[in-house]
Chains A and B, each alone.
Chain A
């Protein structure tokens, strides 16, 4: 009996021993995780924060969501058959609840803002930075914060604004005036201009020139024309920046890092460095890298499946967007090289070499059977109207203007049309590859000339304005037509500048901002984009706030949906 008692005691003691080591056993061991406290407090770690602050713009630039809110819903593009966000293209039934594109952008831009705020507010605690390093990194973060806030304030208007670091679960949001947000943008950009170096060895990192160029855009946006002109001039005068001799060379995959690029998103040729969602990076983008090459292409592979199949040079056609008739009409291809450099209007037979096929090549005239070999024209989309007698006489299929648009300008079909080719990428490794390493030009020098021109015009100096526009048009001229391209000061109007911007910058994710800045969004959409004309309303100059945000805030009476939206 006695020995039994001792054993019981032993057991109880063993139990006690277990319990005394309890709380030690209950502390978590997390060797795979990192926290801001351990990483952002050293110079080496803080660099990773600054790097990360650059990554959020990849959700906008080169992505369908970004194109959808910056190019669609304007005067120059309308829906192809594949458009997945027609609400944004046409302003039809546009609500906070039905556009995941807006939600993605909203979520990621505010995540970027919070990261910038975190960095700006805590950089002083990094002990192993020199003061100069601190100033540069803070300058970059301030530049990026301004850059992200600009997208937010232009897209959604006077919405949430903060420069504080989020601590814990913040469940309220504020509505701050557009002016207040812009004040911060200017404060941050001025800091950046002052503290950033003129050059960098890291391509894509913000420099003082980048900050100035963006500041020029901001001054123009806010009607500070003299400052805009001065700042644009300063960028134009920057050493090492100059327009490429040929507009078409801008889009050459082998020449992306050229003297005309002020700031670009440098998508890596190692696609693993980009933003595609993976197990390791679950918060990425579902397509990743640059997707611009997919969106504007017509389905050339459905014209005549026996003669023309999908291949890498012609691209993978997502058939999302097609030009409005108005956009095509802006160009005079006889003297302006930008039409041919921007658009593809002819597709050639891509049968294997030495193969010859005898088939009906003209969809509209099947009785015409002729021989085709690689390189023969299969489809032609002239931007003019041709008589049926002419088109039917061809061996190939013609989609002339009359077969694409009806007489009101509404597309009569949305599959075959002149396609924007600026972003095509034949260096992709397979025909299906959605990721392109093409850099996205966020700011290029030509825009500075156009900013200067617009600012000068606003200041009443039409001759100056004409000078800057002619610089651009001279470069754009087909050799020998330089004189034909020149305009006179009397020709400079706001609409002309917007037309010129469309010719120069179409597809480059600026159009919606340009129309909004100039107050021309409604006017031009109503006049030039018949698909959207029937739906656009004055309140569409800001976008609906994502419903998820509206649902999540606890101060629902203060943080309300933008006017006009449900």
Chain B
């Protein structure tokens, strides 16, 4: 250990020497001098001259000017020229004496040249910036710009002015002989464009070796949404984001480069300010400085086991020295249903029912209606034409609103950013809402020159109430003859007959409550010490804490209680505490053409969840809701549970560059996961990446077409241990039981048995990428090809039930994802008034299962080798058996009007073993995003198109065909002898949907869609106007989200995945952005 430290010391000393020796003098001509010095003391330069010539200098080394530092670069100068040049900025004078002696003195009459300079500071658009701090570097002299952006300050010629302002990059300008300055500030965001956050560090974009996409804050919040990831849908090639539910506060699902795992989650790892934090929905989009998506194994390898599914790093904004900046953002919008097909009306339903009775010979004409509509109420409804559109009674317009304030400020030592945000979404159903309060405080404090501490903290509080998922499903099946109200205006308990619930009963105040209050804290503190300029030691301590309380009450008339007695009240509490402690050492060094960047990390993560609930039924007074569980006389139940897991890791990364053109990254991480078996707990995940900056090669210098060209390649292995804790253990289950009505304990064997040999799931990914730019980067693009192969899948294997168990998790099987990602940015028009830029992303991923247990497809789970994980394995509907084919139909055992499916192996029998095929998959063949930003004078316009092509979904609507008309269903074109369609089979009063052959083949639909995800038109008030109100910028915008969708499915947004429950919404919104 000691010898290692000594080695570090030696190396450090060596590097220091190299740094010092950069200055050197050459040439030994008698008369002509070559002087090349950088920031060197005049005294030193004079000795240099002495070495080159036969002149000797005489001076008092206490003279101020001798110690002055200058930069000089003269060639073939004679001694007088050289000295004039050298002393120009000093009080020094020289005099030639005999014997080549030169005496140097100070001219007391000459004063240091101090002058007043003025200037004007403006933002990138040319508008004056007031409050910009202007300091003289290395002195206490400072001023700020006035309302017109103008400043005045007295300086010397060799001073350097520093301009700083929150939100903008600090700028340094040499005074020289200028007296007038015009400074245009560059916004921090755009200068950050060239810095990319990677795991445990940052890197210049040019030096990147992996497949990393970086989005800046502005891009992240372009589409107004409470959820950050919803806003970036389609903006990152390779990342598939879908929101399948329109319920208030519902989350999105995200996969990066396809599904690798079958059991383990495919969610990417989210890192917020260095801390893993899966609740990305908590983050206020306005707080985001940048978001990076790490896709290939080389970039994610530093996160080892957690990075197999990609890593998304979110960096929040920080304070900056200079004037305090205040931003205010707010919007309000109205949501509406984005397409929802209607169930049958009374007439259509009556026709279906008649046809179903006709099939069994009980109906021939309306004269037989009494045979069909046996209840008096039904018959009356048929005759009166009563029809209720039930879902319409439940669906309303919803809303989204957001109000946020953020403040950034600070000085040289302390930098603070804090913000508050309130977001509220009201769903399409009454009482379906989600309110989110977010507070953030980020502080950076420099304690001493090299020592810095800081804190990032976020508190999120949710106040939510969710309606039952099945309410619309029920509304869609209530028979339209019925009306929700009794004659006296009260709600009918069982409309029509007793078969069906009245979904409106859940709308009655207090009858259905599902209220969740969640508080989550994401807090991390760091201490950072730079003992020397190129060594950083940092320790992060992160704590994320979540506590939630769900209060649940279902009154006795709610749908879920239809099979039970009385109300159900339940309170569930859960607390989660994650602790993360990481120590990071980074060291970088340049020597000659070589650059080296080393990062080493140790990490400890512990997760703890404990939860409990209590419930009971039959509460006396519904008004007590879930607040008085003791008043529930029946079925009182209690439960508590603890789940904990730990992860220990050590990691390193070496970035090496040669001449800045040839780049190499080596990464390794060792992880130990508690949920795996003892002998397999630890694993090492290595990766390597290379990049070649072709553009920097000499032979590229002569061309003008390409402005950037870089080749990248990487290979690495990542792991996944995302199985539930305790999966190695075989547990017992508690079965409710009693003897003589007295509760007795009964422990049976858990149907899922433990696997004591659980090991890591491993994914090896290779990635080849090309970055290029044309026409001074007016066009830039990245193309990546990747191939990731996952083996030792953590597979929930179904066991034959004869073993006594039904499931076990094993390391069996392989999957493979390969594909191409393209992202293209173009600046189409760039003039003073008009700019137009476009971004195109394109992702094509081929996902498939390569191997499973014994090389066989798992039919029970629809895991078919050669197809994506989420595939649909079923019979292939070819139409409906027609009358003219009745002989053939009979041969198969069917009759005209039945669903006809393909006899795949042509054995004249339709069998489950031989005639089912993959009829589609939920993953798209490709997806793309096309974003356009146009600014014209003070107007800005964004049009954003997103497409997802080639996926199949199961439509609840298309599936809702009840051949016996037992419930209401979809309006479909069904077969009758007069209507020989191939769409839907013949109604039949004697069979239920469940027993109708091949009923499931009706639901598969092509889910391809292209939608105009967002149209935003904004207007920024002219500066001249806003500055009168001390407002820096004021922008007003209108946005339409999800308004236009093009697909093959009528009246439905296929992104919803076919669900009846929670139709997706469209949103029209208007908002304000204000900066002070």
Residues of A within 8 A of B (CB): 1, 4-5, 7-9, 11-12, 14-15, 18-19, 22-23, 25-36, 39-40, 45, 47-49, 51-56, 79, 81-87, 93, 95-98, 106-107, 110-111, 113-115, 117-118, 159-160, 162, 166, 168-173, 201-205, 266, 268-276, 278-281, 283-284, 287, 299, 301-306, 309-310, 316-317, 360, 363-364, 412-416, 428-435, 546-549, 551-554, 559, 566
Our pick among B531, B562, B746, B801 for the contact of A55 (Cβ within 8 Å) is B746
Q: Which of B212-220, B312-320, B637-645 touches A? A: B637-645
Nearest A-chain residue to B748, judged by Cβ: A52
Residue from the set B613, B728, B730 with the largest chain A CB neighbour count within 10 Å: B730
Interface string of B478-500 (1 = CB under 8 A from A): 00000000000000001011110
A169 to chain B, nearest CB (A): 4
Residues in A neighbouring B992, C-beta threshold 8 A:
82-84, 86
Q: A25-B604, A279-B639, A549-B801 are in contact. Are A302 and B497 (CB under 8 A)?
A: yes
Q: For chain B residues 633-666, which have a beta carbon within 8 Å of chain A? A: 634-637, 639-646, 648, 650
- Sample (29) of A-B pairs whose CB atoms are under 8 Å apart: A1-B9, A5-B8, A8-B585, A18-B604, A19-B650, A23-B672, A25-B604, A25-B648, A30-B729, A33-B731, A40-B747, A81-B964, A85-B995, A110-B801, A113-B804, A114-B803, A114-B805, A168-B753, A169-B808, A170-B803, A202-B739, A268-B741, A272-B743, A273-B743, A299-B499, A301-B497, A429-B634, A432-B562, A548-B798
Our pick among B1, B804, B810 for the contact of A9 (Cβ within 8 Å) is B1
Our pick among B585, B730, B909 for the contact of A36 (Cβ within 8 Å) is B730
Q: What is the bound-complex CA distance between A25 and B675, given in angstroms?
A: 11
The answer on a CB contact under 8 Å between A432 and B802 is: no
A500 to chain B, nearest CB (A): 32
Q: What is the bound-complex CA distance between A32 and B800, given in angstroms?
A: 28
Q: For chain B residues 711-731, which have a beta carbon within 8 Å of chain A? A: 725-726, 728-731
Q: For chain B residues 12-38, which have a beta carbon within 8 Å of chain A? A: 12
Nearest B-chain residue to A299, judged by Cβ: B497
Residues in B neighbouring A360, C-beta threshold 8 A:
376
Q: What is the bound-complex CA distance between A54 and B748, given in angstroms?
A: 10
Q: For chain B residues 549-569, which have a beta carbon within 8 Å of chain A? A: 556, 561-566
Q: What is the bound-complex CA distance between A306 and B350, given in angstroms?
A: 21
Nearest A-chain residue to B752, judged by Cβ: A283
The answer on a CB contact under 8 Å between B799 and A170 is: yes
Residues in A neighbouring B496, C-beta threshold 8 A:
305
Nearest B-chain residue to A113, judged by Cβ: B804
The answer on a CB contact under 8 Å between B362 and A275 is: no
Residues in B neighbouring A18, C-beta threshold 8 A:
581, 602, 604, 648
Nearest A-chain residue to B749, judged by Cβ: A115
Give the 3 A-B CB pairs with smallest separation, nearest first: A114-B804, A51-B746, A273-B738
The answer on a CB contact under 8 Å between A171 and B362 is: no
A520 to chain B, nearest CB (A): 26
Q: For chain B residues 801-829, which have a beta carbon within 8 Å of chain A? A: 801-806, 808, 810
Residue from the set B564, B585, B753 with the largest chain A CB neighbour count within 10 Å: B564
Chief secondary structure at chain A's binding surface? loop
The answer on a CB contact under 8 Å between A27 and B731 is: no
The answer on a CB contact under 8 Å between A553 and B726 is: no
A99 to chain B, nearest CB (A): 10
Q: What is the bound-complex CA distance between A45 and B732, given in angstroms?
A: 11
Q: What is the bound-complex CA distance between A252 and B556, given in angstroms?
A: 28
Our pick among B634, B672, B736, B804 for the contact of A22 (Cβ within 8 Å) is B672
Nearest A-chain residue to B361, judged by Cβ: A412
Q: What is the bound-complex CA distance between A19 and B797, given in angstroms?
A: 34
Q: Which of B117-125, B129-137, B412-420, B852-860 touches A? A: B852-860
The answer on a CB contact under 8 Å between B725 and A273 is: no
Q: What is the bound-complex CA distance between A429 and B563, given in angstroms?
A: 11
Q: What is the bound-complex CA distance between A428 and B805, given in angstroms?
A: 35
A539 to chain B, nearest CB (A): 15
B225 close to A (CB within 8 Å) = no
Q: A107-B801, A302-B497 are in contact. Are A19 and B602 (CB under 8 A)?
A: yes
The answer on a CB contact under 8 Å between A35 and B729 is: yes
The answer on a CB contact under 8 Å between B801 and A548 is: yes
B858 to chain A, nearest CB (A): 7
Q: What is the bound-complex CA distance between A479 and B565, given in angstroms?
A: 39
Interface string of B285-326 (1 = CB under 8 A from A): 000000000000000000000000000000000000000000
A38 to chain B, nearest CB (A): 9
The answer on a CB contact under 8 Å between B860 and A552 is: yes
Residues in B neighbouring A79, C-beta threshold 8 A:
990
Our pick among B377, B585, B675 for the contact of A305 (Cβ within 8 Å) is B377
Given contacts A173-B802, A271-B635, list 8 more A-B pairs with CB under 8 A: A47-B745, A54-B746, A170-B804, A276-B736, A281-B733, A552-B800, A553-B800, A566-B912
Our pick among B585, B674, B800, B990 for the contact of A26 (Cβ within 8 Å) is B674
Q: A86-B995, A305-B497, A549-B800 are in contact. Are A51 and B737 (CB under 8 A)?
A: yes
The answer on a CB contact under 8 Å between A107 and B994 is: no
Residues in A neighbouring B537, C-beta threshold 8 A:
7-8, 11
The answer on a CB contact under 8 Å between A111 and B749 is: yes
Our pick among A31, A35, A55, A416 for the contact of B735 (Cβ within 8 Å) is A55
Residue from the set A26, A39, A83 with the largest chain B CB neighbour count within 10 Å: A26
Nearest A-chain residue to B798, judged by Cβ: A552
B179 to chain A, nearest CB (A): 45
Q: A428-B565, A430-B564, A433-B563 are in contact. Are A416 and B646 (CB under 8 A)?
A: no
Residues in A neighbouring B374, C-beta threshold 8 A:
302-303, 363, 413, 415-416
The answer on a CB contact under 8 Å between B741 and A430 is: no
Interface size on B, residues (CB 8 A): 115
Q: A87-B995, A114-B803, A202-B740 are in contact. Are A32 and B641 (CB under 8 A)?
A: yes
The answer on a CB contact under 8 Å between A434 and B375 is: no
Residues in B neighbouring A284, C-beta threshold 8 A:
735-736
Residues in B neighbouring A53, C-beta threshold 8 A:
748
Residues in B neighbouring A548, C-beta threshold 8 A:
798, 801, 860
The answer on a CB contact under 8 Å between A15 and B912 is: no
Residues in B neighbouring A416, C-beta threshold 8 A:
374
Our pick among A32, A55, A110, A159 for the contact of B748 (Cβ within 8 Å) is A55
Residues in B neighbouring A204, C-beta threshold 8 A:
739
Interface string of B433-458 (1 = CB under 8 A from A): 00000000000000000000000000
The answer on a CB contact under 8 Å between B801 and A106 is: yes
Q: What is the bound-complex CA distance between A19 and B562, given in angstroms?
A: 56
Residues in B neighbouring A275, C-beta threshold 8 A:
735-736
The answer on a CB contact under 8 Å between B729 and A33 is: yes
The answer on a CB contact under 8 Å between A303 and B8 is: no
Our pick among A84, A110, A273, A431 for the contact of B741 (Cβ within 8 Å) is A273
B911 close to A (CB within 8 Å) = yes
The answer on a CB contact under 8 Å between A170 and B565 is: no
A80 to chain B, nearest CB (A): 11
Q: A12-B1, A96-B912, A301-B497 are in contact. Are A363 and B749 (CB under 8 A)?
A: no
Residue from the set A33, A110, A205 with the largest chain B CB neighbour count within 10 Å: A33
Q: A287-B563, A416-B374, A429-B565 are in contact. Are A31 and B642 (CB under 8 A)?
A: yes
Q: What is the bound-complex CA distance between A416 and B562, given in angstroms?
A: 23
Residues in A neighbouring B206, C-beta threshold 8 A:
none
The answer on a CB contact under 8 Å between A412 and B860 is: no
The answer on a CB contact under 8 Å between B498 and A309 is: yes
Our pick among B499, B734, B756, B853 for the contact of A281 (Cβ within 8 Å) is B734
Q: What is the bound-complex CA distance between A96 and B747, given in angstroms?
A: 30
A62 to chain B, nearest CB (A): 15
Q: What is the bound-complex CA distance between A82 and B997, given in angstroms?
A: 17
B874 to chain A, nearest CB (A): 11
The answer on a CB contact under 8 Å between A30 and B725 is: yes
B583 close to A (CB within 8 Å) = yes
The answer on a CB contact under 8 Å between B648 and A26 is: yes
The answer on a CB contact under 8 Å between B674 and A93 is: no
Q: A305-B497, A310-B494, A552-B798 are in contact. Are A110 and B531 (CB under 8 A)?
A: no
Residues in B neighbouring A363, C-beta threshold 8 A:
370, 374, 376
B991 close to A (CB within 8 Å) = yes
Residues in A neighbouring B989, C-beta threshold 8 A:
81
